[in-house]
Amino acid sequence: MKRKVAVLPGDGIGKEVMEGTMKVLNAVADRFGHTFEFHKARIGGAAIDEDGQPLPDETLRICKESDAVLLGAVGGPQWENLPGHLRPERGLLGIRKELGLFANLRPVTAFDSLLDASPLKADRIKGVDMLIVRELTGGLYFGTPSERRKDGNEVVDTLHYTRSEIERIVDQGFEAAKKRRQKLTSVDKANVLESSRMWREIVEEKSKAYPEVEVEHMLVDAAAMKLVQHPAYFDVIVTENLFGDILSDEASMITGSLGMLPSASLRSDGYGMYEPVHGSAPDIAGKNLANPLAMILSGAMMLKYSFQMYEEADAIEKAVKEVLDAGYFTSDIAGRGANALSTDRMVKQVIFQLEEDNATAGIMEAYA
Ligand code: IPM
Ligand code: MN
């Protein structure tokens, strides 16, 4: 199969982890007989420098003409003092909004070989396998544009949702829970916010269509606590944009590093953008130190969600797990005193493992 992929490396380590991910995807393409055509485009600070704005029309055009989008990360100190509409993050928020990517899926899995890398006790995080479904194109991040303002000493941000915006993300939460362990935790702040009260009402309504899914409501502050106290408790969490942003960073510590967390941002028709949860990490950018696994695993999510290439996605996930089990770590997950691999070496190790698994599969077939 031939697939067109828009590649937006962005800034900082985004560029480094993207290079490696394209190599891994090409290795998968070779093994399974696919062709991925990569079309590079600029976003974030890189686009501000070249095109004078964080999300050039050309980039949007390339994304719309592609079957899926891979994005690295945006931002850096050199663009920090620009006005709000010109910041690199605007490019990211703009592309999510323009492409209608309202459903952000952030899986959080505890890898056995990384139990020591987490600041949480190993017995708490063992077996954690949750999915955070974050609303991505509404809520506090976007508000009502005409109401967002700063007048002297007064600032206004609004939290705005329409019923249908809540309905479609809640549906995604239920659909995901149905396919997993049938447990959905809807996170809100219904003791304070009107929007959360409507959110709860909609979850209740929708739950009738999913009798097999056990639903509960949890206040966001309680959820933040529960995430460190008993993370294995959760299966699927569905929540508002800002709550999901905060809780997913918190949950990343279960894996030990933000460098391990992939994500998919989807539209209802399956079109999607895939990006690591981590940012551009300016402090380690350009040093060949970044952990490429979150980006590589985001590539695997693309294969699964946009291209229905399940076996191919599994092959990547399996190789990553085996590489970690064999004791190969980048510095973010290596722990004190361990010998950490560079970004490039980690990529090579994943590709080597893919080829090794392929050869083993070949031998097994020959003997079958
Ligand atoms: C994320 C990031 C972004 C967000 C920033 C960079 C705008 O933190 O993808 O979680 O807040 O959504
Ligand atoms: Mn975030």
pLDDT of residue 338: 63
The verdict on the CB of residue 92 being under 6 Å from ligand 1 is yes
**Catalytic residue check, 189:** yes
Closest CA to ligand 1's atom 12: 245
Q: List residues bridging with 214 in a β-sheet.
A: 183
Q: Return the residue whose CA atom lies nearest to atom 8 of ligand 1.
A: 245
Q: Report residue 368's pLDDT band, with 50, 70 and 90 as the boundaries.
A: low
Domain coordinates in residue numbering, the chain: 1-101+280-368, 119-255
- As assigned by CATH, the class of the 119-255 domain is alpha beta
Long-range CB contacts for residues 314-321, cutoff 8 Å, separation at least 24 = 315/28, 315/31, 315/32, 315/354, 315/357, 315/358, 316/24, 316/28, 316/350, 316/354, 318/357, 319/350, 319/353, 319/354, 319/357, 320/293, 320/296, 320/350, 321/111, 321/113
Average pLDDT, the chain: 95
Take atom 5 of ligand 1 and give the residue whose Cα is closest.
89
Q: Please work out whether the CB of residue 11 comes within 6 Å of at least one atom of ligand 1.
A: no
Reply yes or no on whether 245 is catalytic: yes
Cβ count near 88 (within 10 Å): 27
CATH topology of domain 1-101+280-368: Isopropylmalate Dehydrogenase (3.40.718)
The confidence band for 273, taking pLDDT boundaries of 50, 70 and 90, is: very high
Among residues 59, 54, 118, 45, the alpha carbon closest in space to that of 85 is found at 54
pLDDT of 336 > 60? The answer is no
Per-residue confidence (pLDDT) for residue 366, from 0 to 100: 73
The Cα diameter of the chain in Å comes to 76
**pLDDT value, residue 266:** 98
Q: What pTM was estimated for this model as a whole? A: 0.95
pLDDT band at 362 (very low <50, low <70, confident <90, very high): confident
Cα of 353 vs centre of ligand 2, distance in Å, is 31
Which of the residues 67, 161, 189, 332 is marked catalytic?
189
Query: Is 245 near ligand 1, meaning CB less than 6 Å away?
Result: yes
pLDDT > 60? residue 90? yes
